[in-house]
Amino acid sequence: MNSYVVGVKAPETNLNAASVDGLKLHFVRSKGLVRDTGSMIFRSATNEEKYSNEQLPYGSNSDLLEVFELMRSLNQKGIEDASIGMQGITGPCLSDAFNQTCDVLARRYKGQSIDYVELGPEPVKTELLLSALRARGVDIASYTSIDINPASAGPMREAVSRVWSKIRIHHLSENFDNLTAVTLGKNNPVIFTSLGFQEGNHPPSQTHDLLTRIMRPGDLFLTEMQLYTPGDTGPIESFYKLDEMKRFSQNCLRRAYGNVDSVYRTTITDVAIDNATFKAAICHEEFIDDGGQIVCFLTNYCLKPTRDELRQLRESQGEFSVVSEITTGDGSLLLQLCERLPVTGPK
């Protein structure tokens, strides 16, 4: 667990610390929320603490299984409920957006074999994507899931086998930080996926470094992100009010502090990271500790770039090119597909 002293500037590439700073600034600035943050203790948990068990890196437990099941439940809702990402506007719902993305992928890979690598696996959207690709004539030679949460291995194997028993299935209980194209050892073109706004949980520089390490020229990367539309935070607020997000937050608090009475809050605020400022959704639990101090425990932070910001992040260093951007009808959920470009030597 990380704790921060009020007033100390967050390291630029640490999203936990940058989020704590963003939240403190929000408290200070917002009317109605004005309080002396100096009397509060701010703490946060890293992704590793949220999604794995440091004492038993390869062992699952009921808390980690709950984390995985909460994500599954959110995705089930997202796929089944056509109103999600629609906000009363006509146009593609989330499952339409996934199917349209598969049309783009099939134009490139129909009749070919590909390897599919999922960063942070989840079964509902994966089954949808793999089935839609197969139905469009793409041969999926192998499926690999990579996750620091060991609880996902069994359910992912079951879900992927349901799509087609002949796919070779691999699972790596590994931190993304330790991956390279060489360790992944794929022979076919690879489609990498990172769904469920997961990219927003990492500093942009970390995602960029990861993609440059694991993707070879021609490989594709599909990310699903919730976008910030200036002046309309409604879709972001609705998502973080869902019961699953509240339970996810409580799970994180319980693992750090045991059962304490707390209040779940979400804030949409500015976070300064990697020499830029982005909107972010920050979830925290507020409670009073044994010493009578208010503790503000950040349980989740997720960057919410605009569509242009995300494209800029991907393309700014010349290593990736965005090949498709499909949004839901209200423009709040984006499926962005990018390609790793050939390496052109030192500039």
Residue nearest to ligand SAM according to CB distances in the complex: 196
Which residues are paired to 194 by β-bridges? 223
Q: Per rule CB under 6 A, is residue 176 in the interface with ligand SAM?
A: yes
Question: Using the rule CB under 6 A, which residue among 150, 196, 203, 305 binds ligand SAM?
Answer: 196
Given a contact cutoff of 8 angstroms between Cβ atoms, the answer to whether 138 and 211 are in contact is: no
Q: Residues 268-284, buried b or exposed e (16+ Cβ, 10 A)?
A: bbebbbbeeebbbbbbb
Q: Determine if 329 is a binding residue for ligand SAM (CB under 6 A).
A: no
Identify the residue whose tokens are 């890979």: 109
Distance CA 250, CA 247 (A): 5
47 binds ligand SAM (CB under 6 A): yes
Query: Nearest approach, Cβ of 182 to ligand SAM (angstroms)?
Result: 18
Q: Which of residues 49 and 139 has its CB atom nearest to ligand SAM in the complex?
A: 49
Q: Which amino acid is at 94?
A: L
Between the two ends of the chain, the Cα-to-Cα distance in Å is 41
Is residue 19 classed exposed, middle or buried when 0-12, 13-18 and 19+ CB atoms within 10 A define those classes?
buried
* Contact with ligand SAM (CB under 6 A) among 42, 51, 278, 320: 51
Compose the 95-134 pattern: x for residues touching ligand SAM by CB under 6 A, - for all others. -------------------------x-x--x---------
Residue 202: half-sphere exposure toward Cβ, Cα within 13 Å: 23
Give least dist CB 345 to ligand SAM, A. 31
Span interacting with ligand SAM, options 83-91, 192-200, 249-257, 268-276, rule CB under 6 A? 192-200
114, 130, 163, 195: which one contacts ligand SAM (CB under 6 A)? 195
Distance CA 221, CA 336 (A): 8
Amino acid 280 reads A
Q: CA-CA distance, 236 to 332, in Å (whole number)? A: 8
Q: Quick check: 175 binds ligand SAM (CB under 6 A)?
A: yes
Q: Which is nearer to ligand SAM, 201 or 267 (by Cβ)?
A: 201
The 55-74 contact track toward ligand SAM, x by CB under 6 A, reads ----------------x---
Contact footprint for ligand SAM (CB under 6 A): 47, 51, 71, 75, 120, 122, 125, 146-149, 152, 175-176, 195-196, 198, 201
